[in-house]
Structure 1
């Protein structure tokens, strides 16, 4: 019966978790860019950050706020991935009637 367990039974939850973690990666990238260019990036607002003659302060502010999106979206995505895996295991190992 395990032959009914396809690769996409595992791939879908992994893709969902990666999608749920993307806002967190965005916030980490924002913090790294702000640190490299010696800029200030926090939730308090957009601060001037000139890189190659372009002010990226607003972009850094938006990227930093993505961490809050991860706080709210990751539990829902993790629950969806868990339920998907449970249904996949049941579908694989419970014989059809």
Structure 2
């Protein structure tokens, strides 16, 4: 499984690189703040929202601590998607939130 650190992701974002971030936390958790531009698709709904995703795109998955996003990465990889887990999740994120 591919992983990226919160610091690496923040550096990519500062360089205005186009990234697609999916936050797999529950809606109530995301209400406390998420990475700017991240799309919230709770882990339990990911299977039902796959039709919204593009297999030619790369996705960075985020959750609170990295566990649920790792599950999401494994699931998406098994479905033919290119996915990367943000290690440490939002607990490791020091950048801006929205």
TM-score, normalised to structure 2, is: 0.25
Q: Which has the higher contact order (CA 8 A, sep 6+)?
A: 1
Structure with greater helix percent = 1
